[in-house]
Structures are given as structure tokens and as C-alpha cells.
Amino acid sequence: METTIAQIYHKSEEEEKKLILREYRALLRSLKERLKKGDRPRIRRAFEIAAESHKDMRRKSGEPYILHPIAVARIAVEEIGLGVTSAICALLHDVVEDTEVTLEDIESEFGANYSKIIDGLTKISNVVDLKSTTTEQAENFRKILLTLAHDPRVILIKLADRLHNMRTLDSMKREKQLKIASETTYIYAPLAHRLGLYEIKSELEDLSLKYTQPDVYEEISQGLKETKRERTRYINEFSKPIKEALKTESFKFEIYGRPKSIHSIWNKIKTKHVSFEEVYDIFAIRIILDTPQEKEKEDCWRVYSIVTNFYRPSPDRLRDWISVPKGNGYEALHTTVMGPSGRWVEVQIRSKRMNEIAEKGVAAHWKYKEGREKNAAESKLDSWLQHLRDMLNNPDTDTIDFLQDIKLDLFTEEIYIYTPKGDMRVLPQGATALDFAFDIHSELGAKCIGAKVNYRLVPISHELKTGDQVEIITSSKQKPSEDWLNFVITGKAKSRIKYYLKEEKRIVAQDGKEILHRKLNNMHVPASQHNLNEIVAYFKKQSPLDVYYGIAVGSLDIKELRAFTVHGDKLQQPVKEVALETKLLISEKEEQKNIPSKDTELIIFGESSDKILYKLAQCCQPIPGDDVFGFITSGEGLKIHRTDCPNAAQLLANYGHRVVKTKWAKNKEISFLTGVRIIGLDDVGVIQKITNVISADLKVNMRSISIDSHDGVFDGTIMVYVRDKAELDKLCAKLEALDGINKVIRLQVSDK
């Protein structure tokens, strides 16, 4: 569709109208089975309002803007499974923000339910504004989660909006692509994952990779194309005996193989340090059963038995999400079996209902729960949404820490823990006894002094495993302490501990507040906002609370206020300090002058390099030839990071306003320190062969070499000085070609 739009947008107005009408009719066709009396005129009215509101607007690619809301509505209906209300809201999702149409207009035209959803969409439409501060960005993310907790349709439409933006990101500038793609990886893909939208989560991750690391994306994409025929042949060979057995047993079924997502293959290449050819589980076999809901569990296990009659399963790779569904409602049986030619193959067994839930997540639950009691999967989903509401009710969730905490709940694997009475709780992998206590109740967590896990006494920091039965031990004298934050991992536990610590601080600070107010009274000035701000700035604290606390515990000396001057009822800091502060502000402004604006491109080692101070980030150690971006830090000036840096997604998503376009200019006179990791057979003379290639063949300067040998295999690290990425790639290729060398990998800082 995108190709057609791109070809047509610059043509006649008549052709554009035909294209818009064609897309609108496609939306109506996708809603056909859901339409009730009165729905069609409402959809038509929403389309007319959107078309009129956006008539003079165009997207960056040049096509009429109205095609975007129609596409978002189609994704919401066809790929997420939402209905008429959501389609109308998707058509109107940009009109309040971009035009003169108000929420009151929408409410009078369609009703309060519609205006509430569109209000939610409008509030989160600019999730990370380029001018936002970090706190504002975190607050915006928090708004997303608030809308999710109260009406999941808002975030589902927002995910459809983000997916269409990612599919049409080609026309954006490079730095905008990086920011949007990183933001997608950072928050939207985890949200899609948590809501059970696995297809959308995978596509969002793949598209993000396409823009953050285009070479990697293209290489894996090409690899999948080239192996498609061989993959199809293998899937047919693997499936043949299973199909025959299922037909004999009179099952109604579909069986097919599908490749893993490009992003998941890349993750495996990265974590396992293997090549594309060495990733064995590039595809999974899926068996979908057409069976009544009351027979689903029994039939899935019968199919599992048939599969394992032909192929030997790996006992530690069985995942039973039918008996114990995931927290987002996902149900299926997963097993990994040894297939023909000695290849491990993942097999997923689901019913049609389970498959729809796997593809359409929350929306599918609403469809299936009408008119009957909730099943275990739906109850768990509802309890997670309630858990999210509890977290968001904490008044101290307006910093970037909150986002980091909640991400753990969104994206980690789950474990299943039991209470003494046998009730099951779902926690992220790595959760501790204290996380479990806070999951049961905030007060239980705050008073926790230990736990019994499977009747054995353990400390509160004990890490839990699936199947553990946990009893919490409490004491009325216990209070949360700061070191608890070092071992809890759930967002709920972290946010409640921070809340309790702040409450403790407030109680102590009360004494300091009284002392300060008495002092100000003696100086005949009020405790006004202006005066408090002056004192906060003087002591270099974040807030009045920090000042009160510092005075209470004696770390701040109240006598220093003598140096302040009084003008009427206003305090003024000492002149010397003011001058120093002014000087700092001036120097900061001067420094900003030397940093290029977002629309210019910084060329490292080019003509502007003598005017701009910058550092190469230690977390990823970029070298010429790497795809990089500049990042303005608060204390160390400009830093250059690789786009595949471990910290890139967070920096680009949360601090987009500090990113500067950056590219390398050729400068063969400068060398850069980087490292390679070499794994191979510990044979006689192997070190000499390696050093010969580095020093003699390629004339590369070597700073250090460290080799560790164990049971005939060595694992070594070599630090070398290279001029650019091309020279490093050549070095890696030469080393890998040596006999006995198994793998040569560019060193990440975390590997050292």
C-alpha cells in the first residue's frame, strides 16, 4: 500500500480522492461483521470530520494526511481486533491536537465515551517532545500507562498509530528516525509484549532495528530470503508424519512454520556470539487446533504426545502456558524437539481461540469473555491492570526512575509463586522474597523481616524460583531502608520503598522546616516561594524538602543565612555567590554556542572539529566508520555514541532534545583504541600466529593481549589501535581465517 501512496501523492487531486475512498472502503469491509444499526453513519461522519480537518495537511512523504488515520483505524481493526468505537476514535485521533475541532464537539457528535478515548490519545500524542525535560518525558510515559490502566483501548489505538508511523518512517530525517525507533524499542514494544500483541511487538522491534542498525537488518533479512527454499523443504519434511497422525486422530488443524523475527535472530547472534548460519532455531512450527473450549487443554496435550512420539523432546524446554497462562493471558504449549538432520525445532501448540489471543492480546479477551465467567488468563490480565493502577496511584512516580521500574514489569519473563494457602502470584524472573511481600500488600512489604521458602527460613533478598511456596515473616518494628532498592526488581516494590523513604525524610525534615521558619522570622522575612528558592539555590539542593532535611540532620548550617541580604520581604544570596552563579551561566551559554543546532550536522575531525569539544563514549568506544550520534551531556560536553550502544535506546528515547547529527570525516593520522575477543583451540603456536597477523601482516599497533586457556580452549582479549571500522573489520576477517580460530568478536565494554 505504501508504494502505491508514494507513487500517487504527487499526482492529480482526482487520483488522490480515489485512493482515499478506496482505503476508507477497505476499512468498512474489515468492520463488516461488527457493524450494528446506526454504526455505518457514525463511521461515515467520523471520516468526514477527519477528512475536512486534515484537508490541507500532508505527511512528510507528501501524501494526504487523512490516509494516516484511515491506516491507523485499519490496523486497530484488522491486526489488533478492535471494533467500531475504536475505528471511529482512530479516525479522529489527531483532529483535536491538529485542528480547531474540540473534545466538546466530539462529545456532542458521538458521546462521552468517544471523547474520553480521544482525550487520552491527545494527551499522549507527543510522548517525548524534543523540548521536554527528563521529568516531563517520564510524566508523559506515565500518562500512557494511566490510560492503559483505565481504558486499554487508548493504548491499543496508540500502538496502531506507532506501528503505522514505523512502517512509513522512510521519509523522516535520519536523527528523527533514530529517536522514534529508539522510543519504540524503549516503551512501545514492551507495552505490546505485555498486552499479548506478539506479532505487533515483533514488527515494531524489527522496524526499529531497520533504522537503528540498517546493515544488520539488511544482512539478516537477506539471509532469511536466501534460506527460504531450504527452510520450506525442512518444514514439510518435519511436518509430514505429524500431519498424517493428526488426520488419523480426526483432528481439525492447521500446521505451518514461520521464521523468527529479525530482531530475535539478531539478539541470538549478539548474545550467543554466533553467525546467522549458526542460529539453529530460525523458525518455529505452529499447530493450531479447531476444538471446543472445554476440550482445548486435553486436545493440546494429545497433540503434544503425537509430536513427541516422532521427535525426542528436550525436557528443560517444555513450557506449559495452558495450565498456567502468562500474566498477559497468553496460552499455549511450547516444546523443543530434535528434528531430522539433528536440528532442534520449537513446536507451539494452540487452539484457534488461544491463537487469536496470542495475535490480538487484550482485544481478543474482550471478545471471548462476553456472557461467561473469566478464565484464569483473563483474571491474571485484570489483576496486572489493577497492579498497574496501584503503582500509578503512588504520588512520587514523576521521575525517569519510574519508567525504568515499570519496564521490568513489562518485559521480563515470569515466574509463578504460591502463598501458604496455595494461591498463585505471577512475578518477574529474578524477583526476591521482598518483591513477593510487596506484591501481596504494600504494608506487608514494609514490615517484612524475612520469609520461609518451601518451609526453609531465608533473608528478604532471597531470589525466588517458579513453584516456590512463600510465607512472609513481619515485625511491627521493621522499616524500609535504602539498601532494599538494591535487590527488589518489581516496579511496585521499588515505587513503594521510595515512597516510604520519602515519608521518613518528610518526618525528619519537619524539624528542619520549623528551625528554618524561626530563622526567617528572626530575619523579618516570610517563608515565601521566592525566599525558599534562593535558599535552595544557595545550598545547591533539589527542593525545599532537601534543605529542611539537611538542617534537621546537621549537614547544612543555618548560620550561613547571615550572609544573605534582605530587600523588603525578599532574601538575596551573597553577592559573591551570585557572581559565581552568573559566571557559570555565561560559560554554559558560551559552551552551547559551540554546539551545533539540531538541523546542522557535526563532522568529527572535519573543519568544525577544532571549535567543538567532544569525547568518545567509553560505553561503546566508537571508531571512524561506525554509525554514530552526538549527545550533549550535562557535565561533560558532547559525547559520541554508536547507534548500537547499549545505552543508545534510553538516551535517544528520553533525551531526544540533546541529540546532534554526527558523521565521520576521513583522518588517517589518528588511531583509536578498540578491542577484539578471540575464541579458539589452544594449540601450539596459536598466539604467535595471531600476533603475526596483527603486527607483521596488517601493521596494527597492539596495546595489550590477555589469554585465558581452559580444557583445550582459549578465550582472549586483544586491545589494538585502528584508524577506522574498515581496518578493524579487515583485522577480524584475517584472524578468523586462521586455523584453530573459532570466533572473533568486536569487544563490547561489558565484555571486558
* Helix (H/G/I), strand (E/B), else coil: 339: strand
At 388, is the secondary structure helix, strand, or coil? helix
Instruction: Mark whether 97 is an active-site residue.
Output: yes
Interval 544-563: pLDDT, tens? 888 888 888 888 888 888 88
Q: Answer whether residue 398 shows pLDDT above 50.
A: no
Average pLDDT over residues 55-77: 88
Structural domains of the chain ordered from first start: 2-214 (1.10.3210.10), 222-370 (3.30.460.10), 500-573 (no CATH), 591-664 (no CATH), 672-751 (3.30.70.260)
More confidently predicted of 600 and 33: 33
- Does 471 qualify as catalytic in the annotation? no
Please report which confidence band the pLDDT of residue 409 belongs to, taking 50, 70 and 90 as the band edges: low
Whole-model pTM: value is: 0.67
Separation CA 225–CA 231 (nearest Å): 10
Q: CB-based burial of residue 99 (10 Å sphere; 0-12 exposed, 13-18 middle, 19+ buried)?
A: middle
Q: Is 33 exposed, middle or buried (0-12, 13-18, 19+ CB in 10 A)?
A: exposed
d(CA 696, CA 280): 37
Residue 476 identity (one-letter amino acid): S
Average pLDDT over residues 80-94: 87
Which positions ≥6 away from 221 have C-beta within 8 Å?
A: 262
**Helix segments in 95-227, DSSP class H:** 95-98, 103-110, 112-123, 134-150, 152-167, 174-183, 189-194, 198-212, 214-226
Q: What is the rounded average pLDDT of the residues 327-340?
A: 86
* Helices and strands in the chain: count of H runs, count of E runs: 29, 22
Residue 280: name the closest of 226, 338, 229 by CA: 338
Q: Using one digit for the tens of pLDDT, what is the confidence trace for 566-616?
A: 888 888 777 543 333 333 333 334 444 444 444 444 555 444 444 566 788
Residue 508 has φ and ψ, to the nearest 5°, of -65, -40
Please provide the DSSP assignment of 466-531 as one string.
TT-BEEEEE-TT----GGGGGT--SHHHHHHHHHHHHHHHHHHHHHHHHHHHHHHHHTT----HHH
d(CA 741, CA 735): 7
End-to-end CA distance of the chain: 47
Judged on CB neighbours under 10 Å (0-12, 13-18, 19+), 56 is exposed
Banded pLDDT at 210 (limits 50, 70, 90)? very high
- Average pLDDT value for residue range 101-123: 81
Q: Are the CB atoms for 209 and 217 separated by under 8 Å?
A: yes
Choosing from 97, 254, 636, 708, which is the catalytic residue? 97
Active-site option among 39, 78, 98, 281: 98
